[in-house]
Amino acid sequence: MANPKRYEVNQNGKILNRMAWMMAPGKLELIESPLPELAADEVLVKIKASAICGSDLHLFNGKHPSVKLPTAVGHECAGVVVELGSAVDGFQLGDKVTIEPNINCGHCEACLHGDYGYCENISFTYRVGKGAMADYIAVRQDKVFKLPGSMPFEEGALIEPLAVAVHAVRRADIQMGEDVLVIGAGAIGIFVAALCKLRGSGSVVISDRSEERLQTALRLGAKSTLSSKELAEHLDQAKSKRFDKVFECVGVDQTLSQAMRSAKRNGLITVVGIFEQGEASIPATLFASHEIRMQGSQGYCWDFPVAIQMAEQLDLGVMVTHKFPLSEVQKAFDLAVDRETYKMKVILEP
């Protein structure tokens, strides 16, 4: 059991933990309750920074295709190890860490083959009541990764979205000299563009309707930008340049159609965006006429160690635009969802 001197505890000696819950579309509550006993293979992490993700905003809008409300919220985080289960090894109190928030069963065919990202029973910590917008989170030791001591906690919280981008870029098998288009300059899109540059892409173009986001993308590694209007005009010109690899990082009909039209013959489109509507209309004739290929990319599988290494080559700090205390989680989400205000990563600090 945890040392009561290290935590705020109730009269029964239980650790008290505040955790944000999405109760209904647009409505969050910070609920305080005792933490359950730590399992033998779990690590207890005191959260120092947690970031709002695009999928969190789908929850806020009540339109996440895979999650129903109410639910705990938050899965991008970094913190410090403060307690170890009896069977945990390889960690010490005080280690700076981040958390891979997916949960795999370990016994389905995919898990047994090491492809746990395709687990038939996959879930995420926040979906089982362990949100990262909290004071503490307890997770299995195999989902905890040490961070460099010099990395600020706010940047450590961005390893999770960087791992999503790592997974997408690895799936796309980016080759030296290939021309790449990224549609959508949110955090994932910007990270995808940065990683493609590091992989040796010939040109990395990123498109978005926000000029501020495009400027951030240039700072992280994109070589050139197109506004959403410019991309539409570009595609209307029959002889305009097309791309070897295209990433769709938005999740709407229009951008998926643009991604397909942007690809060269035999080009590859990797779909990363979450589609709130679940279905989309596409120019299906291009599959045959241009022999284009399309694949999806979700989450990560053995990608966190790579993301931590790649972070050393990227200035993740430029992505952090706003910070709030955990007590102002509602205010933080209200800002994050506001389309009129520029923001990239909104960080909550317990």
pLDDT digits (tens, 9 = 90+) for 280-297: 899 999 999 999 999 999
Q: For 86, what's the count of Cα atoms within 13 Å in the CB-facing half-sphere?
A: 4
Q: Evaluate whether 119 touches 111 at the Cβ level (below 8 Å).
A: yes
Q: What is the mean pLDDT of residues 2-23?
A: 71
**pLDDT number for residue 65:** 87
In angstroms, the CA 215 to CA 81 distance is 36
**pLDDT number for residue 4:** 35
Provide CATH code, domain 162-296: 3.40.50.720
**pLDDT number for residue 7:** 53
Residue-wise pLDDT tens digits, 85-110: 999 999 999 999 999 999 999 999 99
Instruction: Provide the pLDDT confidence category of residue 276 given band limits of 50, 70 and 90.
Output: confident
Q: Where are the domains of the chain?
A: 4-157+315-349, 162-296
- Sheet with 27-34: strands ordered across: 27-34, 16-24, 71-72
Residue-wise pLDDT tens digits, 209-248: 999 999 999 999 999 999 999 999 999 987 788 999 999 9
Cross-strand pairs, 275: none
Whether 13 shows a pLDDT value over 90: the answer reads: no
Q: Evaluate whether 311 touches 151 at the Cβ level (below 8 Å).
A: yes
In angstroms, the CA 290 to CA 285 distance is 8
Cα distances from 36 to residues 15, 42, 57, in angstroms, run 8, 12, 28
In angstroms, the CA 164 to CA 166 distance is 5
Task: Enumerate residues 6+ apart whose C-beta is below 8 A from 339.
Answer: none
Q: Evaluate whether 342 touches 321 at the Cβ level (below 8 Å).
A: yes
Q: Between these two residues, 279 and 301, which has the higher pLDDT value?
A: 301
- Work out the percent of the chain whose per-residue pLDDT is above 70: 96
**pLDDT number for residue 339:** 87
**pLDDT number for residue 3:** 39
Say how many Å lie between the first and final Cα of the chain, rounded: 22
**pLDDT number for residue 1:** 37
Instruction: Provide the pLDDT confidence category of residue 5 given band limits of 50, 70 and 90.
Output: very low
Residue-wise pLDDT tens digits, 126-172: 999 999 999 999 999 999 999 999 999 999 999 999 999 999 999 99
Cross-strand pairs, 79: 47, 97
Look over the chain and give the mean of its residue pLDDT values, rounded to a whole number. Answer: 94
Residue-wise pLDDT tens digits, 39-59: 999 999 999 999 999 999 999
Provide CATH code, domain 4-157+315-349: 3.90.180.10
Whether 11 shows a pLDDT value over 60: the answer reads: no
